[in-house]
Amino acid sequence: MRLLAMAVGILGVLALGIGRAQAHPLGNFTINLYGGITVGSNGVDVDYVVDMAEIPAFQERERIDADGDGQIGAVESSAHVARACAAASDGLSVSVEGVEIQLRPAERGTLVLPPGTGGLPTLRLECRLHGDATVRAGVSVTYRDGNYSGSTGWHEVTATGAGIALSSSDVPTSSTSGRLTSYPADLLTSPLDRRTASIVAGRATKGAAPAIADLTTAPIARGFGDRLTTAFTGTLVALKPGERAVMTGRGSPRTLCT
């Protein structure tokens, strides 16, 4: 009953927020996924991003706040990032020449709560994953994303090479959505729904790995609710205006103002 009452309250707030604040462009219930594949001679890297709209973000935030004090502390954030990135890697399948390789987090992931409609936050998780393999010219690489199966939203995959060319690939080399930071307006009614990739490695090159945007500097456009709506929804997320929730950044703690 408590969860049902919360859900009804949230939906009411979101309805009030329409027209006053910018909701998630793909809708309040969506879970949006991006997998940026980089194939190198020593294996496969995956730049994995999860962008949750207001409703799934609220549910996830309840799980992150382990002590129930209404704040996301550094310890809680770090623990969640570790769990979420490990779970994300388990939900991805990458095979080299038909043999599945094990993905694992290659460095610390990041978590932020960008503002959404009605003062409710959205959620953005980034994970850097790597799987060891020997990749030479002619070797095939396949990718499949099984995370959040059945969820609606934007699902995107790209592929590039690092020190090795790709002789063929059925996915683009660059992200149409800027790694889920800027969704094209003309595609919002028919969002991308790509969860797989089939790649064949080519010859070795002298090119370095493509740069990956830093989450802490990439702009994410989200609107704020008005004061009345924000004050009301503040009771739902249990954070008062002006309080700060501590987030983990890449290599050091960061803070996010609500």
Give dist(CA 200, CA 52) in Å, integer. Answer: 32
For residue 228, what pLDDT band results from cuts at 50, 70 and 90?
Answer: very low
Q: Helical H runs in 18-151?
A: 54-64, 74-91
Position 23 scores a pLDDT of: 83
Q: What would the pLDDT profile of 74-88 be if each residue is shown by its tens digit?
A: 999 999 999 999 999
pLDDT at 84: 97
On whether the CB atoms of residues 219 and 49 are closer than 8 A, the answer is no
- The beta strand positions in 113-177, using DSSP E, are 123-132, 140-145, 155-162, 164-169
pTM to 2 decimals?
A: 0.77
Q: Which structure tokens are listed for 69?
A: 């004090």
Quote the crossing angle between the two packed helices 227-237 and 2-17, to the nearest 10°.
160
Nearest CA-CA partner of 24 in 126, 117, 150: 117
| 39 has a pLDDT exceeding 80 | yes
- Average pLDDT value over all residues in the chain: 80
Section 226-242 average pLDDT: 38
Residue in the structure block whose two tokens are 């080299």: 96
- CA 197 to chain CA centroid, nearest Å: 18
Residue 219 has pLDDT above 80, yes or no: no
For residue 153, the number of C-alpha atoms closer than 13 Å in the C-beta half-sphere is 27
Residue 206 is predicted with a pLDDT of 77
> In Å, what is the CA distance from 179 to each residue of 10, 36, 48, 82, 175?
27, 8, 9, 21, 6
